[in-house]
Chains A and B, each alone.
Chain A
Amino acid sequence: MRRRMVIIFLAPAVLLYLFFVLAPAAASFYLSLFQTSGFGETPRWVGFGNYIKLFSDPVFWLSITNMALILTVGGVAIFGLAFLFTILINSGIWGKKLFRALIFMPNVIAVVALSTFWSFIYMPRYGMLSNIFKYIGFDQAAAISWTAPENIIWSMLIGLVWISTGFFTILILAGADKIPTDMYEAARIEGAGPVQMFRMITVPMIWDVIAITMVLWVIEAIKMMEFPFAFGGPTPVQSLLTPSIYLFIMGFGFRQPVYELGYATAIGVCMFLFTVVAVLILTWATRRDRVEF
């Protein structure tokens, strides 16, 4: 009886998940085995042809390199800053809520507005950065073209770290807020400083929260599209391509009539596989005995 009830209660959710998630995912994989423009012509079966073509496509590998850069360099910077903000905010400074709100603020602003804001910062000649350097007499630094093709990925990455840090800081702070305060008081009496308390108390006690935030970042980084795309203008330079942007260009006729829907779907399937593999590795690497408190 109990088993039957479980099935009855689970059925709607399972059916919805099957219909709206698993079935489209399976259909996408099937579509990636065809060459089609998506305009209604009969798709041509190519088997794993799209994947073979993809693995010898230098532009795809460039987008993967950019993705890896965002994932690793961006990830280290974001989590480094998130930990730093957690230490500072939990150190008993005045205006904790205000600082928390300020750090989170970029997350409530439209990505296009943020990308415009960062473009103004970097703009040669008239931009904020250029003018600050000119003002303090660093003329050589003022002359740097931060958004020139060879620099633009790094400039974008700085903006991305600034935007993303707040979200992950809030998650880590929320976990840290649940740690009993007597632990910190005891540590303080023993003479521990903020960094020691963070390393010896906060991190072990919220390790599961940190692991989940890292998983969220991995997913976010692999499907990254909005900010680099908006930052790159109407036709982003190739050095800003991520797999998502490349998928969009190849499948949706962006400016040029490239309508390779099967190929674009193969990119999407690869992104899905990357996500699964990366999450599994991360879950394995961050496994620890759970601390109960």
Chain B
Amino acid sequence: MLRSSRSIFSSMLAGCALAVMAPQAQASELVFWSMWNEPEPQAVALRAIMDAYTAAHPETTFSAVWNGRANQTKLRSALQAGTKVDLMDQDGDQLIGGLQKQGLALQLDGLVKADFGASLLPGVFDIYASEGKHYQVPYVYNSVNFWYNKEILEEAGAQEPATFDELLAMCDAVRKLDKYALVVDNDDTYALYYFSYLLERKLGVNALVTTFEDKTGESWLKPEVLKAAQMAQSLWGRCIPDDARGFQYPAGQQTVALGDSMGNLNGSWLPAELSSSAGEDFPWGAFNFPSVEGGKGKQTDLQVALLSMIALESSEHKEEAVDFLEFLVSEEAQKIIVEQGSVGSTRAGVAWPAILEEAYQAATNATAISNIYGGVGINYPDFYTTILAPEQNKMFMGQTEAKAFVEAMAADTKKYWEAK
């Protein structure tokens, strides 16, 4: 009797223990390192998305570290020190050359649903794939378009241009108002928008990368490359004021907010960046970079800078991390990103904030997408940073001739590949 009571008691105890232990074994806390600072609207949106996920999956909670833009670099040191991180986010192009290149990002193929990419806007899931393997889930869409003041365009009696010649005509019309249609800031990266887009319109998507990947350097000497450089230079004085050579970021783009310039070729983050100086009721409009005569690239091809989240290969909660990544681009989560983060969504069918409506249409109708600044910085960041961007800036700012620029690029490209 006593033995039987003992065994019943033992069984009950074991049962209770299992009951207590079972949920503990399944509970997991996902550690997320973020590129946002905590007060930023995008961070607020991500916090809301994590809360929504936890509400649906009470066993999964999040511990977020808001690192700001140097997130990947900070994570580099932390990983070396043995810190356990499950999820992180950063610009997609920076991730390719960083964690993804080093094999520290979790490959998602086979872990996400087979049709996962189909739920996203055209090209989004594939743009950061390496040799067909996917690692990133882009969750914020930034596109590079001309952002402009609609009232000035209307006052000038001009139309949104579809071709480069129409762009020049638009510039002439705006000049009659004693204003300039376009403005730039003089740093190395922003100046590359024009040349890289012109080259892609001349030779097709990813033309800058393919030109650079010709190890002989000869591709730089194609007439189309020289023409693209000359067309970029031709904008000065006609579309872009000469004194813009001295505009240090963000002085140039601020002239759009002040109404002294009509527009700026920039990322779709520009209206948010200028909101405090331009005001909430600024009449923003956006149009794609125009096509060029005889060019292979289409006016509907788009340069983008998507922001991605990845799961770390070293994560101890891979299944939960991947499940969260799928949730991140669900309709529910992406609506939160749009509403609270005021940014573009990567999911098809989720409308962007009203101020970005034209950029949303451009993204939805994009015939091809390529990486911001022509994409050379992704796989060849050393060449991009030390040679291409500074030399291109000198050319664009008129310190060197277009011909001298392409010849220097041909020589530098050959030298680069010979040293590899």
B64-107 at interface with A (beta carbon < 8 Å)? 70, 72-73, 76-77, 79-80, 93-99, 101-104
29 residue pairs bridging A and B, Cβ less than 8 Å apart? A38-B80, A39-B76, A39-B99, A119-B251, A122-B246, A123-B246, A123-B247, A126-B251, A146-B246, A148-B186, A149-B394, A149-B399, A232-B187, A233-B187, A233-B250, A237-B186, A237-B187, A237-B390, A250-B385, A253-B98, A255-B385, A256-B94, A256-B381, A257-B96, A257-B97, A257-B378, A258-B385, A259-B76, A259-B98
B393 in the interface (beta carbon within 8 A): yes
What CA separation (Å) do A57 and B76 show in the bound complex? Answer: 26
B185 in the interface (beta carbon within 8 A): yes
B168-215 at interface with A (beta carbon < 8 Å)? 185-189
B188 close to A256 (CB less than 8 A):
no
Contacts of B248 in A (CB 8 A): 119, 122-123, 147, 231-233
A234 close to B98 (CB less than 8 A):
no
Q: Return B252 CB to nearest CB of chain A, in Å.
A: 9
A109-144 at interface with B (beta carbon < 8 Å)? 119, 122-126, 143
B189 close to A255 (CB less than 8 A):
yes
A253 close to B99 (CB less than 8 A):
no
What CA separation (Å) do A100 and B98 show in the bound complex? Answer: 49
Closest residue of chain A to B104 (Cβ to Cβ) is A39
B97 close to A149 (CB less than 8 A):
no
B116 in the interface (beta carbon within 8 A): no
A150 in the interface (beta carbon within 8 A): yes
B382 in the interface (beta carbon within 8 A): yes
| Given A40-B104, A256-B94: A233 touches B377 (CB 8 Å cut-off) | no
B397 in the interface (beta carbon within 8 A): yes
Closest residue of chain B to A126 (Cβ to Cβ) is B251
Per-position contact with A for B351-371: 1 when CB-CB < 8 Å, else 0?
Answer: 000000000000000000000
What CA separation (Å) do A207 and B95 show in the bound complex? Answer: 54
Which of B246, B377, B382 is the one whose CB lies under 8 Å from A147? Answer: B246
- Could you tell me how many residues of chain B have their Cβ less than 8 Å away from some Cβ of chain A? 49
Contacts of A125 in B (CB 8 A): 243, 255, 260
Residue with the greatest number of chain A CB neighbours at <10 A, chosen from B80, B245, B255: B245
Contacts of A37 in B (CB 8 A): 76, 101-102
Which chain B residues have a beta carbon within 8 Å of chain A's beta carbons?
A: 70, 72-73, 76-77, 79-80, 93-99, 101-104, 185-189, 242-251, 255, 260, 377-378, 381-382, 384-387, 389-390, 393-394, 397, 399
Q: Return B186 CB to nearest CB of chain A, in Å.
A: 7
Closest residue of chain A to B79 (Cβ to Cβ) is A40
B393 close to A237 (CB less than 8 A):
yes
Q: Return B122 CB to nearest CB of chain A, in Å.
A: 25
A24 in the interface (beta carbon within 8 A): no
What CA separation (Å) do A232 and B185 show in the bound complex? Answer: 11
What CA separation (Å) do A260 and B95 show in the bound complex? Answer: 15
A286 in the interface (beta carbon within 8 A): no
A252 in the interface (beta carbon within 8 A): yes
Contacts of B246 in A (CB 8 A): 122-124, 145-148, 151
Contacts of B186 in A (CB 8 A): 147-149, 237
Contacts of A150 in B (CB 8 A): 399
Contacts of B250 in A (CB 8 A): 233
What CA separation (Å) do A232 and B249 show in the bound complex? Answer: 8
B104 close to A235 (CB less than 8 A):
no
Task: Give the 6 A-B CB pairs with smallest separation, nearest first.
Answer: A257-B97, A145-B246, A238-B390, A124-B243, A256-B381, A233-B249
B98 close to A249 (CB less than 8 A):
no
Contacts of A211 in B (CB 8 A): none
Per-position contact with B for A241-261: 1 when CB-CB < 8 Å, else 0?
Answer: 000000001101101111110
Closest residue of chain B to A261 (Cβ to Cβ) is B76
User: A39-B98, A124-B244, A255-B189 are known contacts; what are 8 more A-B pairs with Cβ within 8 Å?
Assistant: A39-B102, A124-B243, A125-B243, A235-B249, A252-B73, A257-B95, A257-B97, A259-B97
